[in-house]
Amino acid sequence: MGRLAESKTLMSGNEAIGEGAIRAGCDFYAGYPITPQNELTAYMARRMAEQQRIFIQAESELSAINMVLGAAAAGARAMTSSSSPGISLKQEGISYLAGCQLPCVIVNIMRGGPGLGNIAPSQSDYFQATRGGGHGDYRCIVLAPDSVQEAHDLMMLSFELADRYRNPVILLGDGMLGQMMEPLKLAPFNSLKRGKSKQWALTGCLGRQPNVIKSFYMQEGQLEEFNRALQGKYKRIQMQQQRWEELYISDARVILVAYGTMARITRSVVRRLRQRGERVGFLRPISLWPFPQRAFRRIVERRPRANLLVIEMSYGQMVEDVRLAVEGRLRVEFLGRSGGGIPSQEEITRATARCRRR
């Protein structure tokens, strides 16, 4: 226990995300206040200054995401964070970042909507995150942690994937994950020589031809060709970056599917039902885009008679991807609440029992 206490530190999800960014080598942060992610902005204000990196409180979400675009274009590891209504405001910038193929990390600590909604945790931005949100045929990589530790660790991965694919990465959490505190094992500092490998970045054209960062293609056929190249990249990401966690699938009759905070509650229910000898399985998508279709195809092959129960803090968004992944070959049930409501262990247990009877 003594050793454990030494190697771990207690942090909120918001702070753990901030420290993850620091250790991943984030050079530039711009943000705007919004609950329930304010601790992250405040943490970055302090830590970025300590590290002699750049922190800006912008005048708006629009400005923050466009500052990130500028810094990313100049070769920085850049990020912003916000919560649902603020993320809506960032959509224009995210579309441009995708169109300019610029790496960056965007943290969304989701709250209830639509509109101003409330500040309770929610998962109702799944469509916005995974479908694009802004205009045009583009995708963001979307990662959804379910613990403070994973939120911290996925920040490291987020910056790596952003740079590898020159693409925006969204870390999708919710108010619960942002606010709660858990013991955290800190990741080592990333020692990469930042900016060196970014031949495309704007640095001034000393010793090379000028670089231009743009998403604007006016000549006939150019934009279509560019879009084809983008789609090729998205296909590669789909092949290479599907991530998930699964438990007790091999003999499961009902498989519960959830992500983020909802997956924590669901996992507890699954463990309890297993202790009672019930053949219940658990699947947690970690990458929401690319959606882990491979995991579901395997279930279709290995457990062709299983029923799936998808549980969300929304009125049914990820469930659409689950249905697409199983292509109608498995029964898919749904349990969801939104606007501040979170499906309880009892509700999940009852819904699981209903699935089993079918």
Partner 1 sequence: MKRIFSHPKALRKVATHYCPGCGHGIVHRLIAEVVDELRIRQRVIAVAPVGCAVVAYHYWDFDGCEAAHGRALAVATGIKRFRPENIVFTYQGDGDLAAIGTAETIHAANRGENLTVIFINNAVYGMTGGQMAPTTLSGQKTSTTPSGRQVSLTGYPLKISELLAQLPAVRYVERVSVHSPQEVMRAKKAIRQAFINQIDNLGFSLVEVLSACPTYWYMSARQAMDWVRDVMSKEFPLGRIR
Which residues of this protein are in contact with partner 1, per CB under 8 A? 27-28, 30, 54, 56, 58-60, 62-64, 66-76, 78, 92-93, 96, 100, 202-207, 210-216, 218
Determine which helix (DSSP H) or strand (DSSP E) holds 287, and give its type and residue range: strand 287-289
Of the pair 191, 219, the CB lying nearest partner 1 is at: 219
- Whole-number Å distance between alpha carbons of 105 and 82: 11
Query: Shortest distance, CB of residue 58 to partner 1, whole angstroms?
Result: 7
Distances (CA, A) of 10 to 5, 30, 148, 182, 185: 10, 25, 10, 5, 9
- Whole-number Å distance between alpha carbons of 107 and 96: 17
Residue 31 amino acid letter: G
Query: Shortest distance, CB of residue 223 to partner 1, whole angstroms?
Result: 14
Enumerate residues 6+ apart whose C-beta is below 8 A from 115. Answer: 85
Of the pair 63, 349, the CB lying nearest partner 1 is at: 63
Nearest to 103 by CA among 77, 70, 135: 77
Of the pair 203, 240, the CB lying nearest partner 1 is at: 203
Please give the torsion angle defined by the CA atoms of residues 115, 118, 121 and 127, in that order, rounded to the nearest 10 degrees: -10
Please give the torsion angle defined by the CA atoms of residues 27, 30, 31 and 36, in that order, rounded to the nearest 10 degrees: 0
Assigned token pair, 288: 């929401």
Of the pair 79, 258, the CB lying nearest partner 1 is at: 79
Query: Shortest distance, CB of residue 348 to partner 1, whole angstroms?
Result: 43
Of the pair 76, 265, the CB lying nearest partner 1 is at: 76
Query: Shortest distance, CB of residue 197 to partner 1, whole angstroms?
Result: 16
Query: Shortest distance, CB of residue 134 to partner 1, whole angstroms?
Result: 10
Query: Shortest distance, CB of residue 215 to partner 1, whole angstroms?
Result: 6
Of the pair 126, 138, the CB lying nearest partner 1 is at: 138
Distance of CA 283 to the CA centre of its chain: 17
